[in-house]
Amino acid sequence: MANSEQNRKAIAENRKRIFSLDAEVMTNKTLIYASRSMIEENRLMILSNYSAAFMGNRQIANSNTDEIFENRHAILDNVDTQNDVEENFVNSQKNRASLEFLEHRSQLNSAVLAISEKMAAINAELIDINRQIMESNQAIVDFNSEQIAINTSLLSGDLQPSNATPESNAKTIEGNRKMMDDLEKRVSANREKMESLVKTSEANAQSLADNKKAIGERRGNMLANRAKISANKAKIFG
């Protein structure tokens, strides 16, 4: 049978565990938001790289392709043919150039379509993430409402220590102990997930930095191609 002295010691022990749990839970909270910050930074870098690669480099490369084939047709148009065989040769080369351009464009269309499908799937996942955030927010609202109701009830006179017994106190203490056991397991599991998430975010950040560097290097190659295209154009009409 429980007595007040035993309950007092158990309460003191629980209080120490609660103090330790408070520190661990709040540490996890800080680490979680630090990790979320890294994820958001990576997301912004992804969008920046996307803009640079697709809206920047892709348009430069496409413009180069257009001018390359403009030059090709201009070169072929300037060929002085002497007979039907030579004229057919030039015209067949024009057709070949057109087909090569269209084949290239069609392959690009397939690649863009595949990427768009992936982006649509990612958007669907982001929509689901928004839904989960909304559900989590609602859980906070519901929890707060419950706790407000408890406070209101206590203020209304339901808090009556005179009705307590050593046995009822022991039951509450044991319930608290079980809650702490579950909480300690969750805190440990969250910490492991968090450490893994931080490592993943750091690896993603490095990959994004590498991508950014590659995008810049490829842009340099595209501009070098542009110079060669302009040089060829000058020769055609020179």
Structure tokens at 164: 């307590």
CB atoms within 10 A of CB 169: 19
Give exposure, 142-152, as e/b (b: 16+ Cβ within 10 Å).
Answer: eeeeeeeeeee
pLDDT tens, per residue, the chain with 238 residues: 668 889 999 999 999 999 999 999 999 999 999 999 999 999 999 999 999 999 999 999 999 999 999 999 999 999 999 999 999 999 999 999 999 999 999 999 999 999 999 999 999 999 999 999 999 999 999 999 999 999 999 998 888 888 889 999 999 999 999 999 999 999 999 999 999 999 999 999 999 999 999 999 999 999 999 999 999 999 987 6
pTM: 0.81
